[in-house]
Amino acid sequence: MKKIIGLFAVCTLLLVSLSYAHFHYKINATATLYANDKKQLTAVGMSWVYDQQVSDMMLKSGQSINNLANGIMTDLVELNYFTQLEFNGKRIATTRPKNYQLVSIKQGNKNLLKLSFVLPLQSPLFIQGNTLSIVHTDPSASASIFYHHANNIILGEAFKSLCQSRVQAIKGFEAGEAPELVKIRCKK
Protein backbone atom coordinates (compact mmCIF):
# COMPACT_ATOMS: atom_id res chain seq x y z
CA MET A 1 0.00 0.00 0.00
CA LYS A 2 2.85 2.37 0.88
CA LYS A 3 4.41 1.70 -2.51
CA ILE A 4 1.16 2.57 -4.30
CA ILE A 5 0.72 5.80 -2.34
CA GLY A 6 4.36 6.64 -3.11
CA LEU A 7 3.77 6.01 -6.82
CA PHE A 8 0.70 8.28 -6.75
CA ALA A 9 2.69 11.02 -5.00
CA VAL A 10 5.56 10.79 -7.51
CA CYS A 11 3.14 10.94 -10.49
CA THR A 12 1.30 13.93 -8.99
CA LEU A 13 4.54 15.78 -8.32
CA LEU A 14 5.72 15.04 -11.85
CA LEU A 15 2.50 16.38 -13.36
CA VAL A 16 2.51 19.50 -11.17
CA SER A 17 6.15 20.28 -11.92
CA LEU A 18 5.61 19.80 -15.65
CA SER A 19 2.39 21.84 -15.85
CA TYR A 20 2.75 25.15 -17.58
CA ALA A 21 0.76 27.02 -20.18
CA HIS A 22 0.33 26.05 -23.82
CA PHE A 23 2.84 27.74 -26.15
CA HIS A 24 1.72 31.17 -27.34
CA TYR A 25 3.42 33.90 -29.26
CA LYS A 26 2.60 37.43 -30.32
CA ILE A 27 2.80 39.17 -33.63
CA ASN A 28 2.62 42.95 -33.88
CA ALA A 29 0.89 43.80 -37.12
CA THR A 30 0.38 46.69 -39.49
CA ALA A 31 -2.11 46.56 -42.36
CA THR A 32 -2.14 48.73 -45.46
CA LEU A 33 -5.11 49.09 -47.80
CA TYR A 34 -4.33 49.17 -51.52
CA ALA A 35 -6.68 50.65 -54.11
CA ASN A 36 -6.90 50.89 -57.87
CA ASP A 37 -7.60 54.06 -59.89
CA LYS A 38 -11.35 53.61 -59.37
CA LYS A 39 -10.78 53.76 -55.62
CA GLN A 40 -11.73 50.10 -55.23
CA LEU A 41 -9.97 48.02 -52.62
CA THR A 42 -7.66 45.58 -54.42
CA ALA A 43 -5.44 44.15 -51.68
CA VAL A 44 -4.41 44.36 -48.06
CA GLY A 45 -0.72 44.54 -47.25
CA MET A 46 0.38 42.86 -44.04
CA SER A 47 3.46 43.53 -42.02
CA TRP A 48 4.02 41.22 -39.07
CA VAL A 49 6.76 41.53 -36.48
CA TYR A 50 7.27 38.27 -34.57
CA ASP A 51 8.01 38.39 -30.86
CA GLN A 52 11.51 37.73 -29.63
CA GLN A 53 10.96 34.08 -28.70
CA VAL A 54 9.72 33.01 -32.13
CA SER A 55 12.19 35.30 -33.93
CA ASP A 56 15.00 33.59 -32.02
CA MET A 57 13.64 30.13 -32.83
CA MET A 58 13.51 30.96 -36.51
CA LEU A 59 16.89 32.64 -36.60
CA LYS A 60 18.44 29.67 -34.82
CA SER A 61 16.68 27.10 -37.02
CA GLY A 62 19.68 27.01 -39.34
CA GLN A 63 17.68 28.07 -42.39
CA SER A 64 18.53 31.06 -44.55
CA ILE A 65 16.13 34.03 -44.43
CA ASN A 66 14.90 33.21 -47.96
CA ASN A 67 14.23 29.58 -47.11
CA LEU A 68 12.46 30.67 -43.93
CA ALA A 69 10.30 33.11 -45.89
CA ASN A 70 9.35 30.39 -48.39
CA GLY A 71 8.63 27.95 -45.55
CA ILE A 72 6.47 30.48 -43.70
CA MET A 73 4.41 31.26 -46.79
CA THR A 74 3.97 27.55 -47.59
CA ASP A 75 2.83 26.75 -44.04
CA LEU A 76 0.55 29.80 -43.96
CA VAL A 77 -1.47 28.47 -46.92
CA GLU A 78 -2.93 25.72 -44.69
CA LEU A 79 -3.58 28.26 -41.94
CA ASN A 80 -5.37 30.69 -44.30
CA TYR A 81 -2.63 33.26 -43.64
CA PHE A 82 -4.19 33.68 -40.16
CA THR A 83 -6.34 36.26 -41.91
CA GLN A 84 -9.97 36.64 -42.79
CA LEU A 85 -11.20 39.78 -44.53
CA GLU A 86 -14.88 40.50 -44.07
CA PHE A 87 -17.05 42.91 -45.99
CA ASN A 88 -20.16 43.83 -43.98
CA GLY A 89 -19.66 40.60 -42.06
CA LYS A 90 -19.25 38.38 -45.17
CA ARG A 91 -15.95 36.75 -45.98
CA ILE A 92 -14.05 38.18 -48.94
CA ALA A 93 -12.24 35.75 -51.23
CA THR A 94 -8.52 36.40 -51.54
CA THR A 95 -5.85 34.92 -53.78
CA ARG A 96 -2.32 33.71 -53.14
CA PRO A 97 -0.18 36.42 -51.53
CA LYS A 98 2.50 38.11 -53.55
CA ASN A 99 5.56 40.20 -52.83
CA TYR A 100 6.43 38.46 -49.62
CA GLN A 101 9.57 39.29 -47.78
CA LEU A 102 11.18 38.37 -44.47
CA VAL A 103 13.74 40.67 -42.95
CA SER A 104 15.61 40.85 -39.69
CA ILE A 105 15.03 44.13 -37.87
CA LYS A 106 16.42 45.65 -34.71
CA GLN A 107 14.08 47.01 -32.02
CA GLY A 108 16.11 48.30 -29.10
CA ASN A 109 18.49 45.47 -28.33
CA LYS A 110 16.22 42.81 -29.83
CA ASN A 111 16.69 41.09 -33.17
CA LEU A 112 13.23 40.45 -34.55
CA LEU A 113 11.86 39.05 -37.76
CA LYS A 114 9.43 41.02 -39.87
CA LEU A 115 7.28 39.34 -42.51
CA SER A 116 5.58 41.45 -45.17
CA PHE A 117 3.19 40.26 -47.83
CA VAL A 118 0.31 41.52 -49.91
CA LEU A 119 -2.98 39.64 -49.80
CA PRO A 120 -4.84 40.42 -53.05
CA LEU A 121 -8.62 40.32 -53.27
CA GLN A 122 -10.10 38.00 -55.88
CA SER A 123 -12.01 40.95 -57.32
CA PRO A 124 -11.75 44.66 -56.50
CA LEU A 125 -14.34 45.97 -54.07
CA PHE A 126 -16.04 49.32 -53.44
CA ILE A 127 -15.86 49.71 -49.69
CA GLN A 128 -17.36 53.19 -49.66
CA GLY A 129 -20.44 53.23 -47.41
CA ASN A 130 -19.53 49.85 -45.97
CA THR A 131 -17.45 48.19 -43.28
CA LEU A 132 -14.33 46.13 -43.78
CA SER A 133 -13.13 43.90 -40.92
CA ILE A 134 -9.80 42.19 -40.53
CA VAL A 135 -9.93 39.06 -38.38
CA HIS A 136 -6.77 37.19 -37.42
CA THR A 137 -7.12 33.68 -36.00
CA ASP A 138 -4.71 30.76 -35.65
CA PRO A 139 -6.27 27.27 -35.97
CA SER A 140 -3.34 25.81 -34.01
CA ALA A 141 -4.13 28.23 -31.14
CA SER A 142 -0.61 29.61 -30.74
CA ALA A 143 -0.36 32.97 -32.47
CA SER A 144 -2.13 36.15 -31.43
CA ILE A 145 -1.94 39.05 -33.85
CA PHE A 146 -2.24 42.54 -32.41
CA TYR A 147 -2.56 45.98 -34.01
CA HIS A 148 -2.82 47.76 -30.63
CA HIS A 149 -3.75 51.09 -32.25
CA ALA A 150 -5.79 52.37 -35.20
CA ASN A 151 -2.62 54.08 -36.49
CA ASN A 152 -1.37 50.63 -37.45
CA ILE A 153 -4.07 50.45 -40.12
CA ILE A 154 -2.71 52.49 -43.00
CA LEU A 155 -5.61 53.61 -45.16
CA GLY A 156 -3.59 55.10 -48.02
CA GLU A 157 -4.47 58.10 -50.19
CA ALA A 158 -7.60 56.50 -51.68
CA PHE A 159 -9.36 55.83 -48.39
CA LYS A 160 -7.76 58.33 -46.03
CA SER A 161 -10.48 60.96 -46.39
CA LEU A 162 -13.34 58.43 -46.55
CA CYS A 163 -12.61 55.79 -43.99
CA GLN A 164 -11.95 55.53 -40.30
CA SER A 165 -10.26 52.59 -38.65
CA ARG A 166 -10.96 51.29 -35.17
CA VAL A 167 -9.07 48.72 -33.13
CA GLN A 168 -10.85 47.40 -30.07
CA ALA A 169 -9.35 44.85 -27.72
CA ILE A 170 -11.48 41.76 -27.07
CA LYS A 171 -11.51 40.93 -23.37
CA GLY A 172 -10.87 37.31 -22.43
CA PHE A 173 -10.06 36.10 -25.94
CA GLU A 174 -9.07 32.44 -26.16
CA ALA A 175 -5.70 31.35 -27.52
CA GLY A 176 -5.77 31.42 -31.30
CA GLU A 177 -8.87 33.60 -31.44
CA ALA A 178 -8.82 37.18 -32.67
CA PRO A 179 -7.56 39.37 -29.79
CA GLU A 180 -8.89 42.56 -31.35
CA LEU A 181 -11.85 43.79 -33.33
CA VAL A 182 -10.43 45.59 -36.36
CA LYS A 183 -12.98 47.57 -38.35
CA ILE A 184 -12.64 50.09 -41.15
CA ARG A 185 -15.83 52.09 -41.71
CA CYS A 186 -16.10 54.13 -44.88
CA LYS A 187 -18.42 56.96 -45.87
CA LYS A 188 -20.13 57.09 -49.27
Closer of 73 and 181 to other proteins (Cβ):
73
**Residue 159 Cα distances to 10, 32, 119, angstroms:** 63, 11, 17
- Does position 142 interact with other proteins (CB under 8 A)? The reply is yes
103 binds other proteins (CB under 8 A): no
> Which of 8, 107, 168, 169 is the binder for other proteins (CB under 8 A)?
8
Query: Which of 123, 169, 174, 187 lies at the binding interface for other proteins (CB under 8 A)?
Result: 174
Q: Specify the residue, 82 or 159, whose C-beta has the smaller distance to other proteins.
A: 82
Number of residues interacting with other proteins: please give it, by CB under 8 A: 34
CB of 129 or CB of 139, closer to other proteins? 139
Amino acid at 1: M
**Amino acid (one-letter) located at 120:** P
Indicate the SS3 state at residue 59: helix
Asked whether the beta carbons of 170 and 161 are under 8 A apart, the reply is: no
Residues 49-78, one symbol each (x = binds other proteins by CB under 8 A, - = not), give -----x--xx--x-x----xx-xxxxxx-x
Residue 25 is a binding residue for other proteins (CB under 8 A):
yes
Percent of the chain as helix, strand, coil, to the nearest 5? 25, 45, 30
* 8-state DSSP, 130: S
Contact status: 122 vs other proteins (CB under 8 A): no
CB of 9 to other proteins, least distance (A): 12
- What is the biggest distance separating any 2 CA atoms in the chain, rounded to whole angstroms? 81
Residue 4 contacts other proteins per CB under 8 A:
yes
Q: How many residues does the chain have?
A: 188
Residues lying near other proteins in the complex (CB under 8 A) are found at 1, 4, 7-8, 11, 15, 18-23, 25, 54, 57-58, 61, 63, 68-69, 71-76, 78-79, 139-143, 174
